[in-house]
Structure formats: structure tokens, C-alpha cells
Structure 1
Amino acid sequence: MPHGLSRPSTPAPPRSPHLPADHPGLSDPIFPGGNPIPFETEERSPFDDGYSLAKERERLIELIESEDPDPTDPRWPRYELYLQRNDRLKQMEAEYRVTEGADLTVEAGVATQLRDLGALVDDGVDTMTLHTKEGFRMFMGRRRDPAGQYNAIPGGKRVASSLKALWTLSRNNNPYADWALLRADHRIPELRRGLDQQAQTFDAEIRKRADKGLGFAILKSREPKVLELGFRSPYGYAIAELIVEFDYYVRVVKTLGRKAIFSDKQVHDAIRQFTRPMRAAFEEFIRFETWLSKPELLPLSRTDFLPGADAVAQRRVAAVTGIFGPVPSGIYAGHQGSRHSQRRVAISDTEKVMLERVAAELAGIHQERGAAVDEPTDDGLVD
């Protein structure tokens, strides 16, 4: 039965005695003039007796499309039944829309309240508390200074904005936006796990001394800064969690330095161990968003890669593959998806076959080219 259609509660009448019991796809719901009317059936019919509008249309197409159908046609009763069922289906669809598809036991007045139900909102303010300059800088970032002495540093706030833009672009069936979000799904938790594991390792050094009688507390700011978040995509909160994890890691590392467990160089190197990969990840996501948001590439979608795409689409494909290389075939074909996406595209079996074919071609190109990795510096992220 098609989604969204209910079936009438009246029981189906018996089969026609003029038809064999095993006759495929035919039945007879009514008996006008005492003569049964055979009709085609299908499994997903919206009607209890399995009546198939699509199959009946094929059988009655001349009558249906005729401007003046002939009432003497032997199929006339069957044609009238088709018109009745077509009207009944429209009525069922209208009833379904009006009642929002509620169960028949629900009163219509109750069901219609679904339309008036408000969207979920944050009942309060989301916050993030930071204790270290390194953590705050990682969130805030830094512009290039007017004198040109300091390079720009991507910050968590900027990256959250980029990921939100990519999340929005995923709505356009953009395979490169999907690829960027999938990379974020992998790299952000990976960095967070690394920070947590290393912090626990260092924290064990502090607990070891506590067992011998030296109790050291983890450093914290006299005036920690509480920042309101208000992100509008799930990826903003993923970045916030990463920043908080980094901030706590820096506190643990600086505690080891303050208590003479680490040297100044060890403190610097331990913080640098994570500023570099975090900045590399931030720059990667910003790079995806910067290019994919350009007017020339904004309409990019999977259909641009299919045979028969127009010249403008072909230019988009040439440009984006020149910038990022070929998108991984599994992502293009839709086998791999990001944790959070606005992509809502239903494709036919024929389109799936085409996507698979193009994905195989992309896989071959990807194997030939390989991939390059950027190695950005971390100047200015470690005090």
C-alpha cells in the first residue's frame, strides 16, 4: 500500500463465479446489474480488494483519453469503476492530509493540532567555559595583523561557521560537501579522543604523586570565561566539545609544568602536539567551504557528473576535481554518509546504476592520482 493512504473498512465481495479461482491479478468488488466486473490488482494497492489504478489505466487508456468515450464499449462498466476508484483515491488522499495521517481512532480536531505544534527551541543558553589562553585562542582564531608579522590562525568559531555552510550545501546533493562533513565526522572525534587519552596519561602522573603524599590540583583560571554558543548546526557543538577538551588538556599540561614534573620545553611540545593537527583540520574544513561556496560551484550536485550533463555542469566538475581531486566513489554513490546531513534525495533504480557507474570511474581516477596532505604551521597557538 502506498505510504499515506488508508483502506476503506468495507469487506471485499466474493470473486466472480465466471473467473477461475487462480486467475492472476483479477477480482470483482461490485456487481452492477448482477454481472461482476473484473479488474487488475496489485500488492501495494490503497484499496482492500487490491484494485490497481495503474494497471487498469493501461487496459482502459483509449476510453480514458478519449474526448467522447463510447458507452457501448464492452469495457464501459470497467471504465466507470476506474473513474469511481480514481475519485475515491483523491478523497482518501484529502482525508489523509486533513487528519495528518492520524490513526482512525484519533478525532480530526485532535489530529489537526499537529500543524500548530511549535518547533523545538533551546530553553536556556548553551555555554562553554574556557580557562586557558590557548583554549580561547583556539576558539577565537586570529586575523593576519596589518604589519604582516603574524599569520592568520583559523579558530573554532570560524570553523563552526564553515561546517554549517557545508551542512547546508549537503541539501543540494553536493558530493564534496558530503565528503567534507564525513571527514569532519572522523577527524573531530579522533582529535577529541587523542586529547582525552593524553590528558588521562598525564593526569596519572599527578595521581601517582598523590599516592606518595603530594596532592596537586589541576590548574584553573581565576576568571574563566563563559561563552554563549547558540550554534545553528550540530557541527558547531562538535567543535565546542573539541575546544573544551583541548582547554582541559592544556590545563593538565601546564599543571605538570607548574609542579616541576615537566620542563618548559616539554610543556610547549605537549601543547604543540595537538595545535598542529587541530589547525590542519580547521584549515581543511574552511578550504572546502571557501571553494564550494563560490558562486561558480554553488550549484554543484551529483547530477553534474552524469553522462549528458550540460557544458556549465562539466566546467563545475572540471573545476572541483582540479581543486580537491576526485570525490571518493563510495561517497559519490551514497554508500557513505555523514552523521548529520540535510541531503534528502530519492533516486530511481536507473539513477542508482548510473551513480554506481560514475563512482567506479571516479575510483579509477582516484587510484591514479593519490592524495596530497597540507602541513600548516602552528605559530601563535602556543604561548
Structure 2
Amino acid sequence: MASPNSTTRPPVRSPLLPSSQPGLIEPIFPGGASIPFETDDASPFDDRYSITRERAKLLDLIESEDPDPTDPRWPRYELYLQRCDRLNQMEADYRVTNGADHVVEASVANQLRDLGGLVDDGVDTMTLHTKEGFRMFMGRRRDPAGKYNAIPGGKRVASSLKALWTLTRNNNPYADWALLRADNRIPELRRGLDHQTRTFDAEIKKKADKGLGFAILKSREPKVLELGFRSPYGYAIAELIVEFDFYVRVVKTLGRKAMFSDKQEHDAIRQFTRPMRAAFEEFIRFETWLTKPELLPLSRIDFLPGADTNAQRRVAAVTGIFGPVPPGVYASQQVSRHSQRRVAISDTEKAMLERVAEELAAISQESGAAVDDATDDGLVD
């Protein structure tokens, strides 16, 4: 930007008069001189002066290496330079004071930078009463003799979801997709457990109405586990497992009190162990593939036209493993409840992402895959 060749005019302090041209204001300077300028309601100045619109009007003067002082717009150009300087000062003051109100001293405002992050002042715990609940948390690896299959556990899947949560920082659309699926599957399972628990508990209360008071079974030595998860999804898994543990207690109470047969008790527990483990396996599968060295750099940028060979290979590989990512997820129209993605994009980039999302939707339709809609978003099977 060229520097002014004459003395800068003083700030506008006098009343403003409307110009005959729409969108223009003419400030009155001492001595009666007036300078028209464009306005904008989003302007940081009290008189709504628009630097962006003024720049468009004065672009040839601004970009000139030697602007002509005899140009009739010269006073307007000087006003533009003055306002740019003032805006720079306003922005500097804002940064120095961390955006505090004017009544706050700078020494106080600066303490914001030294304020430490929040920490857990204590220990988060989870209490489990049943072996089924504990096994659901702990999981089981395949035994050396091959008699028992591996069972994914809550501890393991919490680690997988944390890894996927971290991958969202890389603008990875498949990590976003996995977390969106978790956002749907985990509450869905929890609601199912709660509904079935209430149904069974109502049967126990009916017995109480007739004179038989049954207490819900609990362990003589319940196990209190310290959690210490490093992502919100770990706590979501813990809440699901506690719900499952209490559900098992209610089911076993029905069996102990002869309200359920052995088969009914077994089937009622299996009703939720299978879908929970299936969900765990799905999240672990996303994490296992997306954290492989070849796919670790995967980003939305890889899908854009002109991507390099390595990016094209990543896209081909991940699409072959998981299928096309739902277009709404790719275009960031659907976002997970928790994410480390902090990407500000321009309108041009947003339009490009939406265009690629449309191409992904077309691919899904051609392959017979269901395209996500506004209700279930294609997130649950």
C-alpha cells in the first residue's frame, strides 16, 4: 500500500450529512470540507466507514506506486489510509488487551494468557457389579489354544474413538464419519438398554404391589475402576457400559426370583451383548485402517481435483475399504458432537467441497448405496 504524500487529515469528529448517492456518507471536516465514503453496518467505526468498499472505489490509487495528488479523489484516498491505520491500531489494541472491555486494565487482561487449562480435581470412577459388565469393559483377546474368540472391550474401543477424535484435527472426512456413527450408535444402544430395564423393573414392582418386595441384585464386592479417559468418547463408552451392567443386574434378578427361565435370562443379556460388540468392532475397524501409515495423512484435500498421486492412492484405498463417504459428511454439513477439527474455509473452498460432495453422491447412487438424507444421515445400518 502506498504511503500518503501529504499531511494526514484529522479524524472525523463533526456531524455526518447524508450524501445524495445511496450508501454514501459525507463527513464534515473543520473548515467545511466534506468527503464522501461508502458505509457498511458491519464496520468497526462509529460512522460505519467501509474499508472494503472504499478500497474497491480507490483501487487504482491504492495500488499505484506514485498516486497522483491532483486526483479529485485524493482527500478520499487520504481518509482511506487514515482509516486503515486506525483499524490496524484498533486490532493491535484488541490483541494486547485480549478483547477485554475498555474498563479493564491491560495488566488484568493480560492475565488471560497465563490462565491454566482445566484439570480433573479428583478421580473419575465407574462401579461395576456383574461379570458381564466387567467383561464388556475389559474385552478378551483370543486365547493361545484358539478356543475363545476375541471380544472387543470398552477400554479398547474408547482408545479407538480417541484416535479417531484426534484424526479429525487433520480434516479427515472418514474420521468424522466414524464419530458421527458413534454419536448415533452409542445413544441408540443406551436408550434401548434403558427402555428394556424400565420394562423389566416394572415387572418387579408389580410383584411388590402384590406383597413380594424384590431388591435388585448387586455384587458383594463391586469393582470401582478409575477412568481417566482423554477424550469425550471414552466417557460415552463408560456410560454405556454402566447402563449395560445395571441391565444385567435387573435381568439376573428376574432369573433369581423365578420370573425368568435360564434361557430367557441368557437371551435377554445376549440381546444387547451382540449389538454392543458389533458397534465396538465397527469403531475399531475405522481406527485400525485410518491410522495405518499409508492412510494417516488422509484429508478432504485429497479428494479435490488436481490432487497428487499419493492423495489419489489414499482416496482409492479408503473408498475401497469403507465405500464413498456420505456427501453431507464430506461437505461438513453434518458434524460430530465432539471434534478437534478447526478449519476455516473460504466461500470458494466451501463451494468446491460441495461440488465434490455432489460427485460422491452420484457415485453412491450409481453403486446402489443409500445416500444420506436429513433424517438418519446414512449413519446407521
How does the TM-score come out when normalised to structure 1? 0.86
The answer for the alignment partner of 1:126 in structure 2 is 124
State the Cα distance separating 1:370 from its structure 2 match: 4.6
State the Cα distance separating 1:298 from its structure 2 match: 1.7
Residue ranges of structure 2 left out of the alignment (5+ in a row): 1-10, 371-381
- Equivalent position amino acid for 1:309 in 2: A
State the Cα distance separating 1:217 from its structure 2 match: 1.5
Check whether the contact 1:11–1:48 (CA below 8 A) recurs between aligned residues.
no
Q: Within 2, Cα distance between the matches of 1:65 and 1:330?
A: 42
Q: Within 1, Cα distance between the matches of 2:227 and 2:166?
A: 19
Check whether the contact 1:27–1:39 (CA below 8 A) recurs between aligned residues.
yes
State the Cα distance separating 1:199 from its structure 2 match: 1.6
249-258 vs 284-293, which moves further = 249-258
244-253 vs 279-288, which moves further = 244-253
1:229 is aligned to 2:227: yes
The answer for the alignment partner of 1:377 in structure 2 is none
The answer for the alignment partner of 1:145 in structure 2 is 143
Query: Which residue of 48, 61, 64 maps to 2:62?
Result: 64
Check whether the contact 1:12–1:49 (CA below 8 A) recurs between aligned residues.
no
Q: Does the residue aligned with 2:224 lie in a helix, a strand or coil?
A: strand
The answer for the alignment partner of 1:215 in structure 2 is 213
The answer for the alignment partner of 1:112 in structure 2 is 110
Identity among equivalent positions (%) equals 84
The answer for the alignment partner of 1:317 in structure 2 is 315
Q: Within 2, Cα distance between the matches of 1:339 and 1:208?
A: 39
Check whether the contact 1:99–1:112 (CA below 8 A) recurs between aligned residues.
yes
The answer for the alignment partner of 1:186 in structure 2 is 184
1:1-383 matches, cutoff 5 A: 11=13, 13-15=15-17, 21-29=19-27, 31=29, 34-370=32-368
What CA deviation, in whole Å up to 9, does each residue of 1:115-171 have, x standing for no partner? 222222222111000011111110011112222222211100111111111112122
State the Cα distance separating 1:296 from its structure 2 match: 1.8
172-181 vs 67-76, which moves further = 67-76
- Equivalent position amino acid for 1:296 in 2: E
Q: Does the residue aligned with 1:251 lie in a helix, a strand or coil?
A: helix
Q: Within 2, Cα distance between the matches of 1:343 and 1:225?
A: 36
Check whether the contact 1:140–1:156 (CA below 8 A) recurs between aligned residues.
yes
State the Cα distance separating 1:197 from its structure 2 match: 1.4
73-82 vs 46-55, which moves further = 73-82
What CA deviation, in whole Å up to 9, does each residue of 1:310-348 have, x standing for no partner? 222221111111000111122222222212222222333
Q: Within 1, Cα distance between the matches of 2:63 and 2:231?
A: 50
What CA deviation, in whole Å up to 9, does each residue of 1:54-97 have, x standing for no partner? 33334444443444444444444333322222211111001111
Q: Does the residue aligned with 1:282 lie in a helix, a strand or coil?
A: helix
Check whether the contact 2:173–2:325 (CA below 8 A) recurs between aligned residues.
yes
Q: Within 2, Cα distance between the matches of 1:371 and 1:277?
A: 22
Q: Within 2, Cα distance between the matches of 1:218 and 1:75?
A: 85
Check whether the contact 1:131–1:225 (CA below 8 A) recurs between aligned residues.
yes
Q: Does the residue aligned with 1:128 lie in a helix, a strand or coil?
A: strand
Q: Within 2, Cα distance between the matches of 1:32 and 1:315?
A: 67
Q: Within 2, Cα distance between the matches of 1:297 and 1:343?
A: 18
Check whether the contact 1:12–1:48 (CA below 8 A) recurs between aligned residues.
no
Q: Within 1, Cα distance between the matches of 2:14 and 2:282?
A: 62
Residue ranges of structure 1 left out of the alignment (5+ in a row): 1-8, 373-383
Q: Does the residue aligned with 1:207 lie in a helix, a strand or coil?
A: helix
1:117–1:30 Cα change, 3 Å: farther
